[in-house]
Structure 1
């Protein structure tokens, strides 16, 4: 029985494998840029859903992840971070002064509809 795993576990296995492949590549780079390289790659190319699943796995212990991936995780943006955790949240995540935007709780993916205009 080779397909005993849930679809969620299969996706997670793939994310772990991908993260480890990225780390393996960056192991050939100078030590002082490895973790930043892994984090930059994941921040640029992994969609928020993938990063969310990555952090859920990491928060449960991160089984199977290479030490370099775990080291880089502090530099990877959490897509729906709790206040004050992760990179790019808190003071870094505020919108323009006096303006609206993601820092004010607006989503960039939804149109702005004035109240009462529905």
Structure 2
């Protein structure tokens, strides 16, 4: 999946939750949504994009959500 599409989708999620009156809850809900509905390769690509570009193109609320709840968004490593 192309990163531009992932950024667009993440920003749409952020726009939806940004309307919530409680910003902390909104940040947690964005991270929860990414974990529940995005497959691992999508989440890995989004995190790699943030790590390499600083989150270029991502809305501030999405960047804040991932920064605060990165452990929730990150894909768990499976021990071999």
Interval of TM-score (by shorter of Structure 1 and Structure 2): 0.7 to 0.9
Equivalent in the alignment of 1:14: 5
List, as ranges, runs of 4+ consecutive aligned residues in structure 1 with deviation greater than 3 Å. Answer: none
Equivalent in the alignment of 2:59: 66
User: Highest Rg: 1 or 2?
Assistant: 1
* 1:80 positional shift: 5.3
Q: How many residues matched? A: 75
* 1:34 positional shift: 1.1
RMSD: 1.7
1:52–1:80 contact (8 Å) kept in structure 2: no
Report Cα offsets for 1:36-87 as digits up to 9, x if no partner. 1110100100010000000010001110001111111131421156xxxxxx
Equivalent in the alignment of 2:29: 37
2:73 counterpart (69, 74, 77): 77
**Unaligned runs of at least 5 residues, structure 1:** 1-7, 82-101, 107-118
